[in-house]
Amino acid sequence: MKLINNKKKNDSIKNVAVLGLGKISIELSKNLVNRGAIVIGFTSDKERSKILKKIGVKVIDRNGFDKVIKYCDSVIITAPPNELGCPIIDKYHEFLSNVNWIGYLSSTGVYGDHKGRKVFENSYLKPTSKNSILRLNAENVVRNFAQRYKIPLCIFRISGIYGPERNIIQQILSNSFVPIHKKDHFFNRIHEHDIARVLGSAAISSKCTGIINLSDDSPTSQIEVAKYAYKLLHKKLPVVQNYEDVRKSLSPMSRSFWESSRRIDNSLLKKRYGNMIFPTYKEGLNNIYNDYTNILSTKL
């Protein structure tokens, strides 16, 4: 595997490791490769691995990662937390101490319930779900590691992710979406393309530090989003369920979503990285719907 050894010379080509090549890795990798970066990472998903290799990602075996990390300039950690904090820091800490920048993907879930009020990067953190508590613990583990080795770190707190392969339109068409209403419940979301654009830029510049809310401009209720999606599809909105009536039948993860209401402020994000590609759910769903109809028309 040929990487550019930027530790010996000032080269414009960046070696970027994406640790946890999950669902957002395809769009992120495309963005990084288009910026001229050499992207490396690992995944156990064979189908995703094939797609990533076609994009130009150097997909390596987990056990061989330590041999190439010393050449990486930037590291983006997308792997979920575990009981110990961050599994990437736990396993590869001795090899990550010389990188120039770390980007860590966390969740706006760490803010917990703010009763529908606006939430900023310095707002009080009060996670209640197990996953959000683990996220916050992982943030602290990564922050302590970065401080110890004086590595610039940016923590990106991400809202609900949607994109071409996971969205409400897909759920409606597969008859798996159940419209639920809870009074004064608000949440934000973020399109995969916007995540890729911001992370790609941050990894190449290696200058972004601190905490950034990676979220769209429009905190809304689920019903608002659902109504718009059904209208796009020219379908009638089914009977809306009241949250209190269905709460006990929901999974713990679903309940944690409904028990937390907040309006994420993304002013800092736009100040550093400009306006969003998809500033609200409307632009994002329009794009997904247009792609869907284009694919459908080619099959007719």
Considering the domain delimited by 15-164+189-218+261-278, tell me its CATH architecture: 3-Layer(aba) Sandwich (3.40)
**3-state SS, residue 119:** strand
Within 10 angstroms of residue 37's Cβ, the number of other Cβ atoms is: 22
**Average of per-residue pLDDT across 76-80:** 94
Only one residue has tokens 């061989």, namely 64
How far is Cα 273 from Cα 212, in angstroms, rounded to an integer?
11
Report the pLDDT value the prediction gives residue 1, as an integer from 0 to 100.
54
How far is Cα 208 from Cα 52, in angstroms, rounded to an integer?
26
pLDDT tier at 287, thresholds 50, 70, 90: very high
Report the pLDDT value the prediction gives residue 289, as an integer from 0 to 100.
96
pLDDT above 90 for 292: no
Torsion of Cα atoms, 72 then 192 then 147 then 37, to 10°: 20
> Domain-by-domain residue ranges, the chain?
15-164+189-218+261-278
pLDDT above 70 for 35: yes
Q: Number of C-alpha atoms within 13 angstroms, CB side, residue 171?
A: 14
pLDDT tier at 29, thresholds 50, 70, 90: very high
The mean-pLDDT minimum among 27-41, 61-75, 260-274 falls in: 61-75
Within 10 angstroms of residue 87's Cβ, the number of other Cβ atoms is: 18
pLDDT above 90 for 70: no
Would the CA dihedral through 256, 129, 229, 262 be positive or negative? positive
pLDDT tier at 297, thresholds 50, 70, 90: low
pLDDT above 50 for 300: no
pLDDT above 90 for 261: yes
